[in-house]
């Protein structure tokens, strides 16, 4: 039975850093398995209903951020995610809007939507406005390698049933070698097959990204020859004028925005026409509440929305609920082979025979964490689940 609203005050918030199996990011300063870059959050309530969220941020930063946010959130009504998280934004923006606190608020917001759905017996997607679809295509996000290795990278996931692939980072664009870049894309297309969707992420948010506008324009024309669906992060993330010009000249759609946070940062990119596809990350942009605002704003500008909450199973679950609730969503991102996605749920995600994911229609985010599996990757799993 749904709990009365008066019984759903927030009593405690727990952060659990994920460690030991952090997947490579393709960054120039590479992630080690023992590094903490993804963190789970649990919001506990007086009614015993717990909501779970995810943050794409170092666990120590999340725990520090909670010390700042807890006085503002403990005792609040857990059934009011948009009001509560906007309260957190409004009372902390002067401490650094868009940084650690915004990231932590993202995880809290996701967890509050999970609580609201569980309390009302409804999936989050329906509470966000309605269910436009029951399935959506995941693109398997994989790192680029040298051309001779791309078949080994893509092949197992094609065999597993994926029909859309995004390859990114690695050596692409980093050696000032157009022939190498094209050889990587050619090998990826061959491995994915002629019928698969192929997307390319240059990784322009890497430290000291060097390739500029002229490289991006030339490369976009090469990608068109291989029927690439979009060109992502081709430039440094703040190069607004260059993104506008790249979109004007590129024969393939231009995607970006994963490092931007809160809707205010997205506004100039949408107003200026910098993107064909915008990719806010629900685990750092401000949560489901903020992601929905950005997605609807993009829709008004005719820009496609694709979520970027790929980093844990809870980020994927949040993106799936948003995919249900928004009218024009073709994809969700799904990192290939990460235990933090495949290895922490009681019932892992499964592809259908068309390479699509079913959007969970159970209450809340529609997924259940497995405490024993989570305990493999965090030292304080018990705190996460304890009432």
Task: Output the six-digit token pair for 209.
Answer: 């990204």
Q: Tell me how far apart the alpha carbons of residues 188 and 7 are, in angstroms, rounded to a whole number.
A: 53
Mean pLDDT of 228-256: 98
Q: What is the pLDDT of residues 257-308, one digit of tens each?
A: 999 999 999 999 999 999 999 999 999 999 999 999 999 999 999 999 999 9
Q: What is the dihedral of CA 120, 123, 127, 130, to 10 degrees?
A: -140
Segment 54-91, tens digit of pLDDT? 999 999 999 999 999 999 999 999 999 999 999 999 99
- Domains of the chain, with CATH numbers? 5-125+370-385 (3.30.390.10), 126-358 (3.20.20.120)
Tokens of 44: 């506990």
- pLDDT tens, residue by residue, 115-167: 999 999 999 999 999 999 999 999 999 999 999 999 999 999 999 999 999 99
177 contacts: CB under 8 Å, gap ≥ 6: none
Closest to 287 (Cα-Cα) out of 256, 254, 321: 321
Nearest to 367 by CA among 341, 329, 332: 341
- Beta-bridge partner residues of 167: 142, 200
Dihedrals φ, ψ of 48, to 5°? 85, 0
pLDDT mean over 89-115: 94
At residue 1, the pLDDT reads 45
How far apart, in Å, are the Cα atoms of 156 and each of 76, 85, 151, 163, 335? 47, 41, 9, 12, 13
Is residue 342's pLDDT more than 60?
yes
Instruction: Give the pLDDT score at 35.
Output: 80
Q: What percent of the chain has pLDDT over 90?
A: 87
Let me know: does 139 contact 165? Beta carbons within 8 Å: yes
Distance CA 96, CA 99 (A): 6
Alpha carbons 239 and 244: distance in angstroms, whole number: 9
Longest dimension (CA), the chain: 64
Q: How many residues does the chain have?
A: 387
Residues ≥6 apart with Cβ < 8 Å to 239? 213
Q: At what angle do helices 150-159 and 178-192 cross, to 10 degrees?
A: 20
Strands 38-45 and 10-18, how do they pair?
A: antiparallel
| DSSP assignment of 102-117 | HHHHHHHHHHHHHHHH
pLDDT at 4 over 60: no
Per-chain mean pLDDT for the chain? 94
**Using alpha carbons only, what angle is made at residue 103 by residues 165 and 276, rounded to the nearest 5 degrees?**
40
Q: Could you give the CA distance from residue 151 to residue 166 in angstroms, rounded to a whole number?
A: 14
List C-alpha distances in Å: 212 to 86, 153, 178, 219, 268: 37, 27, 13, 11, 20
pLDDT at 5 over 70: no
Which pTM value belongs to this model? 0.95
Strands 38-45, 50-55: pairing kind? antiparallel
Residue 336 CA to residue 140 CA, distance in Å, equals 5
Contact 294, 305 (CB under 8 A): yes
**Res 200 pLDDT > 90:** yes
**pLDDT band at residue 197 under the 50/70/90 scheme:** very high
Contact at 8 Å (CB) between 328 and 335?
A: no
Considering only CA atoms, which of 165, 160, 133 is closest in space to residue 351? 160
Residue (of 150, 230, 161, 221) closest to 190 by Cα position = 150
């Amino acid at each position: 039975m749904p709990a009365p609203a008066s019984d759903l005050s927030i009593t405690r918030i727990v952060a659990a850093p994920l460690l030991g199996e952090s997947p490579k990011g393709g960054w120039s300063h590479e992630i080690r398995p023992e590094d903490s870059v993804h963190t789970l959050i649990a919001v506990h309530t007086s009614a015993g209903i717990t909501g779970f969220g995810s943050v794409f941020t170092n666990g120590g930063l999340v725990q520090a951020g909670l010390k700042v946010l807890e006085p503002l959130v403990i005792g609040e009504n857990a059934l009011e995610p948009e009001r509560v998280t906007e309260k957190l934004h409004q009372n902390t923006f002067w401490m650094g809007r868009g940084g650690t606190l915004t990231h932590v608020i993202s995880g809290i917001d996701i967890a509050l939507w999970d609580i609201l759905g569980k309390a009302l017996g409804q999936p989050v997607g329906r509470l966000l406005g309605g269910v436009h679809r029951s399935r959506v295509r995941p693109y398997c996000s994989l790192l680029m390698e040298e051309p001779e290795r791309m078949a080994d990278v893509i092949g197992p996931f094609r065999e597993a049933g994926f029909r859309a692939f995004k390859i990114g980072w690695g050596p692409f664009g980093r050696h000032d070698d157009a022939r190498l870049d094209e050889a990587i894309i050619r090998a990826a297309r061959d491995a994915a097959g002629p019928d698969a969707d192929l997307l390319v992420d240059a990784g322009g948010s890497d430290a000291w990204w060097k390739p500029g506008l002229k490289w991006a324009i030339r490369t976009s024309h090469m990608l068109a020859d291989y029927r690439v669906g979009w060109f992502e992060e081709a430039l440094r993330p703040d190069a607004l004028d260059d993104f506008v010009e790249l979109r004007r000249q590129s024969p393939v759609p231009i995607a970006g925005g994963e490092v931007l946070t809160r809707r205010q940062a997205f506004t100039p990119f949408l107003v200026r026409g910098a993107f064909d596809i915008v990719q806010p990350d629900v685990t750092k942009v401000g949560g489901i509440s903020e992601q929905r605002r950005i997605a609807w704003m993009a829709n008004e500008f005719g820009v496609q929305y694709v979520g970027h909450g790929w980093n844990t199973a809870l980020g994927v679950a949040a993106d799936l609920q948003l995919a249900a609730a928004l009218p024009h969503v073709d994809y969700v991102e799904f990192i290939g082979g990460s235990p933090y996605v495949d290895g922490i749920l009681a019932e892992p995600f499964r592809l259908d025979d068309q390479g699509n994911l079913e959007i969970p229609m159970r209450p809340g985010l529609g997924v259940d964490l497995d405490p024993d599996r989570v305990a493999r990757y965090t030292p304080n799993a018990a705190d996460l689940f304890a009432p």
